[in-house]
Structure 1
Amino acid sequence: MDHQHIKLTASELSYLWNIYQAETMSVQVIHYFLQHIQDEDIKTLLNHSLSSSKKHVTFIKELFIDEQIEVPIAFNSSDVNLQAKRLFSDVFYLKYIKHMATGGLQSYGRVLPNVFRNDIRTFFENCLNAARDLDRMSTDMLLKKGIPIRSPHIPYPEKEEFVKKQSFFLEGLGRRDALTGSEVTNLFFNIQTNQIGTTLATAFSQVSSTKKIQQYFLRGKDIAIKHIKVFTDYLENNSLPIPMSSDQEVTESTESPFSEKLMLYHFSMMIYSGIGNYGAGISESMRSDLAVDFSRLTAEILKYAEDGVNILINNEWLEQPPLAADRKGLVEG
């Protein structure tokens, strides 16, 4: 092929490496979900997601072999116990797919501007299209089944208006109580993502066999609940509805379907996605108190994420991603 003499850029290589980790994990997770699914509509959606993830894994693996790049260990059948009892409800499976599809749309949207080789760009365009289709299918299914996912309504503007006071941004000069549409959207969305986090933390802590990792998940649940409370207060103060909790979507099973490595990696991946969501919240907030809260909470989860990475490192579960050449080390060596 005409692209074979063109080496992968740092962005292309790192994106492919990270997607391989995430998609091999998704394959194992969805394989387990399919063992217990009862709702035929959601089963179809899970199979669609599984097929998409498998295609992505196959493409990247074959590409790495062709390019003589070491294929990561990532995740495989040894990281899942398909005979384990049901841990989640069918409704959670549907919400999970919607959440992962949303994350895919965000990730692939950031990736594409930094990809230049034609075959790699085509691959990520296909990934973006797959995430778009999965998001549409899961959204339609949530609406069809009457599961609330819509963000709140706000009044339509009836006339042109201009901001006349600096207190629109700085509450110290006279508090602006009303939230902008973007602020409402970010608050509502981050409550939903933290609710997914609390569900996974509840389930993973329940089945973890390692005390330290179990405590890490429980700490994450406490952090997520606290963050939900902060965001909820903003909406409640504006008499806006709050997303429904999903705690009831975890069974009482204590039999782990996943390896400790997979659960910890999965949780870490969601944490870093959450950090990106908070960054968007900061950039789209026109209230200084809300921007400060997003910044404060980001600092907290950054520290929490670091502790999770240290657990991965101490257990030799964290594969080293592709690195730039250490020029200084080469000279000194």
Structure 2
Amino acid sequence: MRKNIRLTSPELSALWTQYMNDSMSICVFKHALKNVEDKDVYSIIVYALSLSQNHIVQLEKFFKQENYPIPIGFTEEDVNLEAPALFSDIFYLQYLYVMALHGMNGYSLSTGTAIRNDQRKYFVQCSKDTMKLFDQVMDTMLKKGVFIRPPFINPPHDVDFVTKQNYLTGWFGKRRPMNGIEIGNIYYNMQKNIVKIVLEIGFSQVTQTKELRQYFQRGAQICNKHTEIFGSIFAEEYLPSPKNWTTEITNSTVPPFSDKLMLFHIESLVAVAVGYYGAALSVCQRRDLITHYGRLMMEMGKYAEDGVNLLIKHGWFEQPPITDDRNELAKKK
């Protein structure tokens, strides 16, 4: 019996989600390799592509072992390798940086919910490989001088304890300076929003569907507004904000990817962003920041819901692993 233990629902869902994301990444990286000229960036994308391709091979083995249908995901039909570059070489570094961050967090969660030994080993290895990719991206960005470090804070003269309730004050009364945890969360959420803005502007430029163009433009406006709010919070305390990358979009109007892939890509990033906002909210200790995150999460959540509805409308929403509908099965008798 031990040799035939089935995958649990979290294990199966983790594999399914990874298959969708890696099949999408293969399309993105293949197109990038056709246009990237910087040798350092090229070698990193080659490594990232090899990771995604190896993942797909192993994932298909897992699905076959479980007699579970292999997802369709994304194929050669979803990428136009002849399309000119949509983004610059330097932007791909920032893109890979953010995607590696998502990957490390995702694999960590998948490892924590895996029970079977083969699943734990697999996701631990995925984490190691992604950490290596992250190191390569970070080293290259620092070498090229294109990474803007998060704000610094000076060490205190001594250990201190909070003695007044106004430590939590936000809207009324004197606001305390942000602590390092709050600064870090705002900074990294800004980094991720900035990448989404570039993708949404670029995708709105090449999509052939008016409905999707409007959706991408709306997303860019939302992310830009969120970035401005976070930036204004930093500005109040004379802290620097991350670099804006919108100048790294080319003037191409030829779609390198299918509408299905572009919509899925944005939708998946928005869904992750809602989670990051929630994580940041959970450790905030200033009321105004808590209120900001709560309000922005609702706006991002509504945008994500509208994106899912578009996927469903166009028949592009591949159903994730789902439990049996017992009531429906009973009707068939």
Q: What is the alpha-carbon distance in structure 2 between the residues aligned to residue 279 and residue 158 of structure 1?
A: 33
Q: Which residue of 1 aligns with 2:42?
A: 43
One-letter code aligned to 1:153: F
Contact 2:167–2:176 under 8 Å retained in 1: no
Check if 1:34 corresponds to 2:30: no
Partner of 1:185: 184
Q: Which stretch of structure 1 is more off in the superposition, 168-177 or 80-89?
A: 168-177
> Structure 2 vs 1, CA of residues 81 and 3 (structure 1 numbering), >3 Å: closer, same or farther?
farther
How many equivalent pairs are there?
A: 332
* Residue 298 of structure 2: aligned partner: 299
Deviation readout 1:56-86 (Å, 9 max, x if unpaired):
1110012212221100110010000000011
Q: CA deviation at 1:173?
A: 5.9
Q: 1:87, CA displacement in angstroms?
A: 0.7
Structure 1 counterpart SS, 2:4: coil
Q: Contact (CA 8 Å) 2:171, 2:288: kept in 1 or not?
A: no
Amino acid at match of 1:184: I
Relative to structure 1, is the Cα distance of residues 142 and 306 closer, same or farther in structure 2, using a 3 angstrom cutoff? same
Query: TM-score under structure 1 normalisation?
Result: 0.97
The 8 Å contact of residues 207 and 254 in structure 1, kept in 2 or not, is answered as yes
Cα offset for 1:174? Answer: 2.6
Q: Give the equivalent residue in structure 2 for 1:84.
A: 83
Supply the distance in 2 between the matched residues of 1:192 and 1:3 (Cα, whole angstroms). 45
Q: 1:177 to 1:317 in 2, by over 3 A?
A: same
Aligned-partner SS, 2:34: coil
Question: Secondary structure in 2 aligned to 1:321?
Answer: coil
Check the 8 A contact 1:232/1:242 in 2, yes or no: yes
Q: Quote the offset at 1:332 in angstroms.
A: 4.9
Which residue in 2 is equivalent to 1:55? 54
Following superposition, the deviation at residue 5 of structure 1 comes to 0.6
**Alpha-carbon contact 2:200-2:219 (below 8 Å) kept:** yes
Which position in structure 2 is the counterpart of 1:215?
214
Amino acid at match of 1:249: E
Q: Deviations over 1:229-255 (max 9, x none)?
A: 110011000000111100001000000
Distance in 2, matches of 1:175 and 1:108, equals 41
Please list every run of 5 or more consecutive structure 1 residues that lacks an aligned counterpart in the other structure.
none
Match of 2:264 in 1: 265
Give, in angstroms, the shift of residue 172 of structure 1.
5.2
**CA 1:173 to 1:249, structure 2 compared with 1: closer, same or farther past 3 Å?**
closer
Report the equivalent of 2:321. Answer: 322
Distance 1:118 1:96, change over 3 A: same
Aligned to 1:156: 155
* Counterparts in 2 of 1:95 and 1:10: CA distance versus 1, 3 Å: same
Decide which moves more: 298-307 or 111-120: 111-120
Does the Cα contact within 8 Å between 1:98 and 1:139 map onto a contact in 2? yes
* Corresponding residue for residue 237 of structure 1: 236
Identity %: 39
Q: Distance in 2 between matches of 1:163 and 1:122?
A: 43
Is contact 1:166-1:173 (8 Å) kept? Answer: no
Gaps of 5+ in 2: none
- Number of the residue aligned with 1:8: 7
**TM-score w.r.t. length of structure 2:** 0.97
Structure-1 separation of matches of 2:55 and 2:119: 11
Q: Which amino acid in 2 is paired with 1:62?
A: K
- 1:3 CA drift (Å): 6.4
- Are the counterparts in 2 of residues 31 and 82 from structure 1 also a CA contact under 8 Å? yes
- Mapped partners of 2:2, 2:20: distance in 1: 24
Change in 2 beyond 3 A, CA 1:325/1:58: same
The answer to whether structure 1 residue 100 and structure 2 residue 106 are counterparts is no
Shift of 1:165: 1.1
Q: Does the C-alpha gap of structure 1 residues 141 and 321 become closer, same or farther in structure 2, counting only changes over 3 Å? A: same
